[in-house]
Amino acid sequence: MYKRHYDVANSIKEKTRRINTLTTHLEQCEIQKRHRAVYQKYAKLEPKKRKAYGEKHAEEIRLYKEATDHIKDVMNGRTEPPPIKKWKEELETLTAERYGLCDEYYRLDDDLKSVDALRRGAELLMQDEPQREQPKRTHNMSL
């Protein structure tokens, strides 16, 4: 039971890490999509107007660039668009698996607490038992 409890806990951690990674990827794709129009307009402007527009929309441009850099890093130089649909499907699957593992983890946790309580009770009984079985002796005489 302890090994299964440990294995389930590790599986939950692994799935949680992957869920967090996928969530970050999808958030960055959404940020890039949301600020793409502002950045494209900024990129098309002539230098005189670009500076003023860039100052006015600095936050959106920064977020777009960061999101684009993140996605480029994730895609490892591949030129195709990020697999957003695949990421969403994997996220849903992992989330469902994680919930199932969490249920199993808490069930095992409760069972282990019960087993530990029984074990401690048995150990206490075993410690008390030898004392009751031995007759008391005083000066090598039985009473």
For residues 98 and 2, the answer to whether their CB atoms sit within 8 Å is no
* Residue 23 included in any domain: yes
Mean pLDDT of the chain: 88
Q: What confidence tier does 141 reach under pLDDT thresholds 50, 70, 90?
A: low
Of residues 80 and 35, more confidently modeled: 35
> Number of structural domains, the chain?
1
* Residue 9 included in any domain: yes
Q: What confidence tier does 142 reach under pLDDT thresholds 50, 70, 90?
A: low
* Residue 140 included in any domain: no
The amino acid that residue 16 corresponds to is T
What pLDDT, on the 0 to 100 scale, is given for residue 130? 56
Range of the domain at 18: 2-128
Q: What is the pTM of this model?
A: 0.74
pLDDT 10s digits, 92-124: 999 999 999 999 999 999 998 988 888 888 888
Q: What confidence tier does 135 reach under pLDDT thresholds 50, 70, 90?
A: low
For residues 63 and 28, the answer to whether their CB atoms sit within 8 Å is no
> Around Cβ 93, how many Cβ atoms within 10 Å?
11
Hunting for tokens 């660039």 — which residue is that?
A: 65
* Residue 136 included in any domain: no
* Residue 143 included in any domain: no
Q: What confidence tier does 29 reach under pLDDT thresholds 50, 70, 90?
A: very high
DSSP the chain: -HHHHHHHHHHHHHHHHHHHHHHHHHHHHHHHHHHHHHHHHHHHS-HHHHHHHHHHTHHHHHHHHHHHHHHHHHHTT--SPP-HHHHHHHHHHHHHHHHHHHHHHHHHHHHHHHHHHHHHHHHHHHHHHHHHHSPPEETTEE-
